[in-house]
Amino acid sequence: MTPAPSKPPLTILLWTWPAKHTFPLNQCPPLVDSSGCFFTVNRSMYLIANAVVIHHRDISTKAQLPPMPRPLNQYWVWFNMEPPEHLHKLSLMDNIINLTMSYKSDSDIFTPYGWLKSNNGAENFTIPSKSRLVAWIVSNWKQKHKRVQYYNKLKNYLQIDVYGKHNLPLPRKDHFVTLSKYKFYLAFENSIHEDYITEKLWYNAFYAGAVPVVLGPSRKNYERFIPPDSFIHVDDFSSAQELAAYLLSLDKDDQRYRQYFNWRSRYMPVEKRKTWITEYCKVCKALKEAPAYRSIPSIAEWFK
């Protein structure tokens, strides 16, 4: 009996390297289903590609988009990890995008900055030794940002060590070790937008073993992704002074402070620093399970 011919792989074309960052293709993490897919940046394969991934911040004119007309039933995937106010010319994407890929949980392909996985007794977590109180890393310093305005109030009531451009130096090799010495980390987002919860929480706080003090979307939004007793939200306090008093009280009460790590017996953060590989690899499974072919009238309307 003649075996059935194997299906050709689905070809996924990365139209540009995201922000010029290169990475190994066709080497997806084990937990991401990439079977039956072939990833390429070779634009000569455009006419046979099943999907083309378009990283929004690398496109500023129509001339930078793939050529039209496109091959029949080819999916164009809009990829973006920035909040709306950091994006320009979204109207370029009107009626040409078939699948969305972003940090928004209602994307066709959900690509969060981080996530938790079940501990399953695999890790006996120990709180790192603490010798300092509050840290914050910030390079994009703009007075109009809510996070800078809040910091300017909070610093009047407790010591905050600020790292980054124009502040204390923090070499990449010392990043984790330094932050792990702090009891609290200010995971302050530069933009307030639904589901926009970045590595400031996942890596700088959780993975380093510090309690995150968050400024971003609502507490309810955070609790969709992390336990309610794993973080402190600025909105829980009537003022920066009240928050400072609370942090200082926790500093003097080890038992209460340790309660912010109770969740570590059930979950652990996935180490996912920005390599882009996981995000792109997710396109394979999504393409195999793609809904009926359709075009999205307005990315701007959906993403606002």
Strands 267-269 and 116-118: antiparallel
**CA dist., res. 155 & res. 150, Å (int):** 9
Neighbours of 239 (CB within 10 A): 12
3-state secondary structure of 19: helix
Check: CB of residue 114 under 8 Å from CB of residue 250.
Answer: no
Q: Which residue is catalytic, options 82, 194, 199, 223?
A: 82
Q: Are 268 and 249 in contact (CB under 8 A)?
A: no
- At residue 242, what is the residue type? E
Closest CA to 11 of 41, 33, 31: 41
Backbone angles phi, psi at 78, to 5 degrees: -90, 120
Peptide bond into 69 cis (omega under 30): yes
**Residues of 259-296 as b/e, b for ≥16 C-beta within 10 angstroms?**
ebeebbeebbbeebeeebbbbbbbbbbbbeebeeeeeb
Terminal Cα distance for the chain, rounded: 56
Q: Does 82 qualify as catalytic in the annotation? A: yes
Active site positions, annotated: 82
